[in-house]
Structure 1
Amino acid sequence: MQKKSDQGVFIHRIRYYCALPILLIFIFSSVLMFANANSVHASVVRPLENNGLAQTPLMGWSSWSSIRNNPSEAAIKTQAQAMASTLKSYGYTYINLDDFWYLNPTTTVDQYGRWATDTSRFPDGIAATASYMHNLGLKFGIYLTPGIPVAAVNQNTPIQGTSYHAADIADTSRHEVNYNYGNSAMYYINYSKPGAQAFINSWANELASWGVDFLKIDGVGDADISDIQAWSTALKQSGRNIYFSLSNNLDVNNVSIWQQNTNGWRIDGDVECYCSTLVTWNSVLSRFNDAPRWVGDGKPGGWNDLDSLDVGNGSRDGLSNDERQTYMTLWSIESAPLSIGDNLTSLDSYGLSLLTNTEVIAVDQAGHQAHPISQASSQQVWFADNGDGSYTVGLFNLGGSTATVSVNWSSLGFSGPASVRDLWSHTNLGTITNSFSATLNAHASRLLKVTPGSAVTPTPTPTVMPTTTPTVTPTTTPVTGGQACSVNYAITNQWAGGFGTSVTINNTGTTTINGWTLTWTFANGQTITQLWNGTPTQSGASVSVTNVSYNATISPGSNTNFGFNGAWNGSNAVPTSFALNGKTCTTV
C-alpha cells in the first residue's frame, strides 16, 4: 500500500477546495417560516433525516487529527479503552475510524466492487473491531468517499443480488475525490442506470453486517447530491441505524438537501493546520466567521459540524489554555458535534477538565445555536435564547491583547436585573442589572447563563425576507434640531453568493432619537435574506431598516446595532450614503 505524507493529504484537500463545482441552485416551493430567536439563516418547512438518530449533537472521537494516515486495529482499540474509562460517563460514545483503513481502490476491491480492508492494519477485520467497541459500550464509525472504485469497473465486478455489473453504472468520464489514493481512484456513478442504487445498497448492507454505527463520507460537493441521496436510502434499508455525516466545506445554499438526507454536515474545511501542532489559533478563528451563516440549520436529526475538537493534548494542540477554552466554548454554543481529535491516552488535566465540564456539555446538547450580536470588532458577544426564559451568552476577545467585552441586557431583549452564572467555573455571580462586562486575555472567553429577574421583553427574532419583496414605503420620524448621526457598515464575512454585515448607528447629535429608520441603496443588486435587531424592507436596490421595540431609543453619544445576511453576484460594494429618519449620516 502506498502511504502518503500528511502534506500530500493536505494538498489533495486544498486541490479539491480550489476546484469546487459550480454551485447548483435549487428552488424549493416551500413556505418560509420565521427563524427561531437564535437563527440568522433562513429556515424552510422541510423534513429532516428521519432515521431517529442525532436527536442531540454527537459526542465521541475521530482518528484523523491524532492518527492521520496510520490507523490500526490496535491503535483504535487503545483509544476506545481510554474513552470507556474516562469519557463515556460524560456522554462520549462514538469511536470513528477515518481514512487509510482500506486498500488502493484503483487496484483492489472485494468480490462485489467495494473497498477491501487493509488486513495488515486490521488483521481481525472491521467487524471484529466494531464488536470490540460495542463490548465496551461504545459505537463504531467508518469512512468512505463518493463513487465506485476504478478497480471495480476495470474488473467489472458484479453488483450483489443483481444481474448488473460495475461497468453498467460507472461514469468513466469523471473521477471522484479520494484524499488517500488520489483523485483517480473512484469514478462517479450514473444514478440513472439500473443497478446504481443496488450497488450502494450492497455497500450499506456490508457496513451494517460489520456493526457500523456511523458513516462519514468525505470529499462531498454539490456534484455529489445524487450519491448522498442514494446513501441515505441505502442506509435506511440496511436494517441498522447508522448516523450519516458529510465532509467537508458543504454548501450552505443546499442545506435543505443535507438536512433531508443526513445527520451532520461540515460547514468548513479541516480545522487541522497540518503543521507541527494539531491546530493553530488562526485555524480555529475562521469558524467564528463561518458559523453565523449556518445558525438555525442544526436541529434534532442533523447538526452543523465545525470539525474535530482538539483541546485535550496541551502543547500538542498548539493553543494556549485560554484559546482551548474559547475553542470548546464556540463548539458548545453552536451545538456542534463534540468529536475529539486528540490522543485520548495523553489528555492533560486542563484538557480533561474542558471536555468533562457538565454545564458546558449541557449547552452543546441543548441544541440552541448562538449568533453574534455584532462582529464589527474582535470583542464579540454571542447569545442564544434557551426557550425557558434564560439565555446562554458567550463573551469572546478574539483580539491579540487584553480587552473588556460587555453585553447589554437590551441586546438580549430585556432590561433590569438578571442572575448570572459562569458555566466554566460553576459559579453564581449574583444579580446584575442591565449589563455585564469582563476583562479578557487575548483569545479568551467567558460562558454565562443569564436569567432575567423581571418581566422579559421577547428576544429579537431574526427576520426572514419574503421571496416576493413588498413595496412598502416606511414611515419615518421627522428629524428635529440637534439630531446628527454616523453609520458604520462593516462586511464581517463573505462567501460565494453570500455575505454577512454588521451596521452600527451612532447618535452624534445632542438630542435623543426616539424611533428610527435607516435607509440606503445597494449599488450592485445585493439583497437582504435575513436580518436581526431590526425590521427590513427592500424594494429593488432601496433598503430601509426600522427599529424594533427594544432598540428604538438612541441617546446622545450612544449607538445601536443590527446585522444581516445577504446575497450578492458579481460585486458587493459598501453603500456610500445612509439616511436616518431622512437625515443624511456621515459614514465611519
Structure 2
Amino acid sequence: MAAALTATALGALCLTAPSWAAATPVPAPDAGAATPAAAESDPAAKPYMGWSSFSMQVYSGNGQWITADQLIAQSDAMHEKLQAHGYEYINVDAGWNGGVDEYGRPTPSETLYPNGLQAVIDHVHENGQKFGLYFIPGIGPEVYEADLPIYGAEGCSTGDIAAQPLQQADYWDIGYKIDFSNPCSQKYIDSIVDLIAGWGVDFVKFDSVTPGSGIGDLSLDARDDVKAWSQALDRHDIWLELSWALDIRYADYWKQYADGWRVDWDVECYCAHDAMTTWDNIARLFSKAAQWWRHAGPGGWNDFDSLNVGNGAMDGLTRDERRTAMTFWAVSAVPIYTGNDLTNLDEYGLELLTNDDVIAVNQNGVPARPVSTETDKQVWYAPNADGTVTAAVFNLDRTESDIEVRLSDIGIEGSATVTDVWSGEELGKIDGGYVAQDVPIHGSRLFTITPAKGARLTVTDDDLRVSYDGTWTRNGNQEVAAQSQPLTVKVTDAGGEQPPAASVRTVALNDDDPAISYQGSWNHSTNRGLGDHQDDVHYAEKNGDAVEHTFVGTGIDYVTETHESQGEVDVYLDGEFQQTVNAYRAEGRGAQQVLYSVDGLPNGTHTLRLVKKSGSFMLLDRLDVRLDSLLVADTALFDKSAPTPVEVGLLRDGAELTAIAHGDDVLTAGEQYTVEGRTVALSAEYLAAQPSGDLVLDFRFRGDHRDDVHSSTDDGASFEVAFRGTAVEWIAPMGPDQGEVEIYLDGKLVDTVDTHADSRLTQRSLFTTEGLKNGDHTFKAVQVSGDILRHDTIEYTVKKVK
C-alpha cells in the first residue's frame, strides 16, 4: 500500500489539495496456467526497472518530499548512474496533485511544481526515461457533490456515476465507489487517462486494489475499476501496476487486465530517519513468491515493492541481506525499482544495482520456483529456454551454513557446469550437485548451471515454454500427490489376531510445522504450560494477519485455544470463504479446541486459510489433516512361531509403490517383499529376523511430478512445448477416463498413443523418440478420444547448450 493522497480518487479527487496527514497509511506488518508470451512491442514483455518515490516519502517523514527539484535530481542521478543498465522509470507516488479541473480531472500541485508538472515530465523524457503517477479507485466526495461535466461526454456528469447508495471505494475510505454499469463512468476514466497521456505519463500505479489491500471478503471490490483503467490505459500503451497485497484467488483477473501486481504488504518499515526496510519485510516475501511464481511471465509480473539496497546507512539491511534482496528480486523476475535517494548511493549499492549479469537474470523473465520452502536453507531455480538453469540458494536461518543444489531437484539428469553469476567465475563441472559453502546468515549465492552434452532436462507443465490450446486447469483435484503411510507390524512369538482395517488416517501438524505458512506479524510462544499441543502456539495481534496450509487429504481441523482475549477468525477453503468462527470465551481458557472442521473433500490438494478478524489475539495450536488410507490396514501381525509372509492390501495400483523403508533402510524388492497387483507380501525371512515388538514400515507411493498436473476436458485440447535437443520423452498420467492422443513433432503427426488405464497411474512414459537432428523442435499432443487429457512433463536430451 502507499499513502493515498492523490487527487484522483479517483480515489480522492478533491477540489482542494488533500493533506498528507489525512492520508497516512496504516503501517505494514513487520513480518508478515502458464502466461502467454508477450510480443516484444508489449511494454510488459520484461519486468520494468526504475525508481519509485514512496520509500523516500516515508523515510523522510514528508509526504510532500516529491518536489520538482527532488524529481529532477532523481532523474539526473538515474541518467548518470543506472540508466545504462536498464533503469528507465521515474514513478511518483501519492501526493502529487493539487486539486481538480472543471471536469473533475486531477491537476498537479502548484506548490510542489511551481513551473508545472509538465516541466518535470519533459525533463524526465529528455533524459530518455519514462514517467509514472499514482491513482486509487473511486471518485472523491467533493467531485461527486460538485456534479461536474465529464470531458468529451455530452450529457454525463460526475454526480451521476457514483454507485447508489453511496459506498466506500478504497481501503482508506477516501472516495465513493463508481457505478461502471453507467457508460458515463468509463468515459470519466477515459477523460482522466487521455489527460495524463497528453502530459506524457507512461506508467500508472493503481493502489488500494481489492480483493487485496488487506480486504478479501468482497466488502470492497475494485475489479471494475481495474478493468476500466486497463481499457483506458491500453489505448495509450501506459503500464498498469496494481497495488497492494493482491488476492491470489483472482490472479487470472489481474493477469488479464494489468502489467504487474504487488503480492504483499509494503516493504517499508515506516521508521522515518532510521531505516527504509527490515530483514523481516524481505524474508516474508519468500512464502509469497512460492505461491505466486507460476502466475507471472511476459505480459504480467509479480511485484515485491521497492528494492531498497542502494545505501547501507539507510537501507536497514546488512551487506549480505542487501545482496540477498537483489538476488531474490532478480531470480523472481519481478520489477527492479529502487526507493533509495539516487543522489546518495554508496559504492556497494551501485555494485548491487548495476551488475549486468544479475540484471540479465531478471530481464530473462523466468520467475524462479522453490525446491522446497519447508526449510530455511532454500534452493530456488528457473529453467531457461536456452537449456541453462538459473539457481539461487538462500540462507534464511540464523547460522552460517552449506547449501546443496542437487541437479535432480532442478530438472537436470546428468552432469553440468556451474558459473557464479555475481562474480562471473567458472566453478567447474559437477555430477549430482553443487554445495555452496559457508553461506552467511541471511546470505545467498546465484549460479548459472549449464547441462553437459547428453544431459536430460525436464520441462514441467507449469513451464513458460508450454502453451495450451483449449480450457486447461492446473490440478483441480485431477492431481495425485506422492504420499507415504506407515504400517505397524507387531512382531511376536505368542500369536494373536490380525487387527481391523482402517480407511481414514489423521495426521496432526504442530503449529511450528514448516509446511504451515504464516503471513503477517506472527510470534511463537513455547513452554506455556496451558495444555497446548506440544506446549506451544503461534499467535498474531493484527487484524488481517493470516495462516495458510496446503494439504493433500479429505478433511482438516483448525485446533486452537479459546479465551476472552481472542475473537473472530475468517475461514477460507480452496480460495472460497466458508464461515467466521469465534475463539472468544467469556470465562476460563479452553485448550486444543476444534474451531473449524471439514470432511468429505475430494481426495486431492486443498488449501485452508485462516484470517484474524477481531480480538486481541489469534492463535494456532495445530492442524489435523485427514487422509484416505493407502493401505487396506495400517497394522499387521507376524508370529515368529508360525512364520508366514504378511500380505498387505494396497488401495493404489501396486505399480505406484516406489519403496518400503524401515527408518533409513530401504527394503529390497523381490527379496524382502514382492508386489503382485494390489497386494504386497512381506517375506517371512525378513520379518523373522526383526526383534519382537512394533516394526514400523513406511510404504511410499509415487505422485505426479511436483504433485501437480494440467488437464483439459475440451474435445481436441492440446499443448505444445519448444525444446532444443536430440531426443524427447512425454511423461504423463494414465487413467480410466483418458484415451488416445496424437503426437506431432515439428508440425508432423508421428504417432498416436493410448493413455487409457484401468486405474489412475502417474509419471508414465507415453511417447519417446531419439535421433532427432540437433536443433530447435516442437512437441505437440492433441486429444483424440477419452474424457480428459492430462499433461505432466516433457524430458529432452541436449547435445550442446548454447
Shared topology, TM-score over 0.5?
Answer: yes
Q: 1:207 corresponds to which letter in structure 2?
A: I
Secondary structure in 2 aligned to 1:406?
strand
User: Could you tell me whether the CA contact under 8 Å between 1:249 and 1:267 is conserved in 2?
Assistant: yes
Cα deviation 1:443-468 (Å, max 9, x = unaligned): 00000111122433332626775436
Q: Is 2:517 aligned against 1:493?
A: yes
- Alignment counterpart, residue 557 of structure 1, candidates 664, 667, 674: 664
Q: 1:447 corresponds to which letter in structure 2?
A: L
Name the counterpart of 2:54. Answer: 64
User: Could you tell me whether the CA contact under 8 Å between 1:290 and 1:493 is conserved in 2?
Assistant: no
- Alignment counterpart, residue 580 of structure 1, candidates 699, 702, 707: 699
Q: Is 2:25 aligned against 1:10?
A: yes
User: Could you tell me whether the CA contact under 8 Å between 1:294 and 1:304 is conserved in 2?
Assistant: yes
- Alignment counterpart, residue 390 of structure 1, candidates 372, 388, 391: 388
Q: For 2:453 and 2:659, how far apart are their aligned partners in 1? A: 20
User: Could you tell me whether the CA contact under 8 Å between 2:358 and 2:421 is conserved in 1?
Assistant: yes
Of 156-165 and 81-90, the range deviating more from structure 2: 156-165
Q: For 2:404 and 2:482, how far apart are their aligned partners in 1? A: 32
Secondary structure in 1 aligned to 2:233?
helix
Q: How far is the alpha carbon of 1:149 from its aligned partner?
A: 1.6
Cα deviation 1:284-326 (Å, max 9, x = unaligned): 1110111111112111111001111100011200111100000
Q: Is 2:153 aligned against 1:153?
A: no
User: Could you tell me whether the CA contact under 8 Å between 1:303 and 1:337 is conserved in 2?
Assistant: yes
Name the counterpart of 1:537. Answer: none
Shift in alpha-carbon separation, 1:229–1:164, aligned structure 2, 3 A: same
Cα deviation 1:233-288 (Å, max 9, x = unaligned): 11123xx2211111001011111111111100000110011112000000111101
Q: 2:157 corresponds to which letter in structure 1?
A: H
Q: For 2:356 and 2:390, how far apart are their aligned partners in 1? A: 15
Q: 1:53 corresponds to which letter in structure 2?
A: P
Structure 2: stretches of 5+ with no match in the other structure? 1-16, 212-220, 463-472, 490-506, 520-544, 557-597, 608-625, 631-651, 667-695, 702-802
Name the counterpart of 1:353. Answer: 351
Q: For 1:474 and 1:423, how far apart are their aligned partners in 2? A: 34
- Alignment counterpart, residue 282 of structure 1, candidates 265, 280, 288: 280
Shift in alpha-carbon separation, 1:2–1:187, aligned structure 2, 3 A: closer
User: Could you tell me whether the CA contact under 8 Å between 2:27 and 2:270 is conserved in 1?
Assistant: no
Q: 1:196 corresponds to which letter in structure 2?
A: S
Alignment of 1:306-385 (within 5 A): 306-385=304-383
Q: Is 2:196 aligned against 1:207?
A: yes
Q: Is 2:601 aligned against 1:528?
A: no
**Paired residue total:** 499
Q: How far is the alpha carbon of 1:469 from its aligned partner?
A: 4.2
Q: 2:147 corresponds to which letter in structure 1?
A: N
Q: How far is the alpha carbon of 1:77 from its aligned partner?
A: 0.5
Q: For 2:47 and 2:188, how far apart are their aligned partners in 1? A: 30
User: Could you tell me whether the CA contact under 8 Å between 1:522 and 1:543 is conserved in 2?
Assistant: no
Q: For 2:67 and 2:343, how far apart are their aligned partners in 1? A: 15
User: TM-score, normalised to structure 1's length?
Assistant: 0.76
User: Could you tell me whether the CA contact under 8 Å between 2:135 and 2:207 is conserved in 1?
Assistant: yes
Choose between structure 1 and 2: higher helix proportion: 1
Name the counterpart of 1:265. Answer: 261
Q: For 1:189 and 1:578, how far apart are their aligned partners in 2? A: 62
Name the counterpart of 2:590. Answer: none
User: TM-score, normalised to structure 2's length?
Assistant: 0.57
User: Could you tell me whether the CA contact under 8 Å between 1:396 and 1:443 is conserved in 2?
Assistant: yes
Name the counterpart of 2:123. Answer: 132
Cα deviation 1:464-503 (Å, max 9, x = unaligned): 7543648x9999999999xxxx99974242579994559x
Shift in alpha-carbon separation, 1:406–1:301, aligned structure 2, 3 A: same
Shift in alpha-carbon separation, 1:478–1:212, aligned structure 2, 3 A: closer
Secondary structure in 2 aligned to 1:528?
strand
Q: For 2:481 and 2:170, how far apart are their aligned partners in 1? A: 51
Shift in alpha-carbon separation, 1:280–1:192, aligned structure 2, 3 A: same
User: Could you tell me whether the CA contact under 8 Å between 2:484 and 2:698 is conserved in 1?
Assistant: no
Q: Is 2:450 aligned against 1:451?
A: yes
Q: For 2:207 and 2:315, how far apart are their aligned partners in 1? A: 23
User: Could you tell me whether the CA contact under 8 Å between 1:77 and 1:129 is conserved in 2?
Assistant: yes
Shift in alpha-carbon separation, 1:401–1:558, aligned structure 2, 3 A: farther
Secondary structure in 1 aligned to 2:456?
coil
Tell me the C-alpha RMSD between the 2 structures.
Answer: 3.8
Cα deviation 1:384-411 (Å, max 9, x = unaligned): 1112221111111101111111121121
Shift in alpha-carbon separation, 1:384–1:499, aligned structure 2, 3 A: farther
User: Could you tell me whether the CA contact under 8 Å between 2:387 and 2:457 is conserved in 1?
Assistant: no
Q: For 2:167 and 2:483, how far apart are their aligned partners in 1? A: 56
Q: How far is the alpha carbon of 1:47 from its aligned partner?
A: 9.7
Secondary structure in 1 aligned to 2:80?
helix
Q: For 1:552 and 1:345, how far apart are their aligned partners in 2? A: 61
Secondary structure in 2 aligned to 1:187?
coil
Secondary structure in 1 aligned to 2:295?
coil
Name the counterpart of 1:33. Answer: none
User: Could you tell me whether the CA contact under 8 Å between 1:49 and 1:260 is conserved in 2?
Assistant: no
Secondary structure in 1 aligned to 2:394?
strand
Name the counterpart of 2:95. Answer: 100
Q: Is 2:169 aligned against 1:176?
A: yes
Shift in alpha-carbon separation, 1:46–1:429, aligned structure 2, 3 A: closer
Shift in alpha-carbon separation, 1:431–1:469, aligned structure 2, 3 A: closer
Name the counterpart of 2:159. Answer: 167
Q: How far is the alpha carbon of 1:2 from its aligned partner?
A: 5.7
Name the counterpart of 1:439. Answer: 438
Q: 1:135 corresponds to which letter in structure 2?
A: E
Name the counterpart of 1:573. Answer: none
- Alignment counterpart, residue 467 of structure 1, candidates 453, 476, 498: 476
User: Could you tell me whether the CA contact under 8 Å between 1:280 and 1:318 is conserved in 2?
Assistant: yes
Q: 1:83 corresponds to which letter in structure 2?
A: M
Q: 1:100 corresponds to which letter in structure 2?
A: G
User: Could you tell me whether the CA contact under 8 Å between 2:486 and 2:698 is conserved in 1?
Assistant: no
Choose between structure 1 and 2: higher strand proportion: 2
Identity of aligned residues (%): 34
Q: For 1:578 and 1:236, how far apart are their aligned partners in 2? A: 60
Q: For 1:291 and 1:310, how far apart are their aligned partners in 2? A: 18
Of 228-237 and 93-102, the range deviating more from structure 2: 228-237
Q: Is 2:618 aligned against 1:542?
A: no
Q: 1:557 corresponds to which letter in structure 2?
A: D
Q: For 1:129 and 1:63, how far apart are their aligned partners in 2? A: 14
Name the counterpart of 1:191. Answer: 180
